[in-house]
Amino acid sequence: MDAKEIIARRVAQEIQPDTLVNLGIGLPSMVANYLPKEVHVFFQAENGVIGLGARPPEGMEDPDLTDAGGGFVTAVPGAASIDSAMSFGLIRGGHLDTTVLGGLQVDERGFLANWMIPGKMVPGMGGAMDLVAGAKNVIVAMVHTAKGKPKILHECQLPLTAQRRVSLIVTEMAVIEPTEEGLLLKEVGPGASVDDVISATEASLIIRGDVPQMKLA
């Protein structure tokens, strides 16, 4: 099980039944593959699809059915297609229960930076600013380090996506909850210890008692 699968499987456990959930591009889109069959939700994408399913098997892709990043998806029974204005109306109107977004950096305040690296070509803002500001719950799904350097920092060095504390950070090494007191370490990943997580994290972490290991289905 690689790092991205660990993250996607753990994030899937946070998805509540009968909710409207946005999955960002890249790693977050994998979450739909690991949702338990008994958990019924509607996944939404900014390009106007409500009712995203798992990624299609190779060779079964529909070129007219993609997520906001152009990745191929499937549609569940009851899915709907709406225009972008309606899609962003759902987001900005506070009707989205949860969004799962990738991250470049998160800081001790729980602020996210995920849209720009100066001097480099990246996908850009997309709907991230609206999603962080408008969704009831914001889950960041990202690998813990980039080329050996921490991504959870004292303060973000990249431009912020929004000045709002995210709800949860899930990496292959840890589950961390940003709180008013700071970043609370809730779980450690498979094969990781608390010391491993501290070593790979620039930001200070709150440790309360014995920290359990992630339970992955």
Cα-based angle 79, 95, 21 (whole degrees, multiple of 5): 50
Task: Compute and round to an integer the Cα radius of gyration of the chain.
Answer: 17
Residue pair 128/161 in contact by the 8 Å Cβ criterion? yes
**For the chain, how many residues are written?**
217
> Among residues 7, 59, 66, 3, which one has the least CA distance to residue 33?
7
Residue pair 183/155 in contact by the 8 Å Cβ criterion? no
Q: Which residues are catalytic?
A: 46
Exposure of 50 in the CB half-sphere (CA atoms within 13 A): 16
Cα gap 217→212, rounded to integer Å: 15
Cα gap 104→37, rounded to integer Å: 31
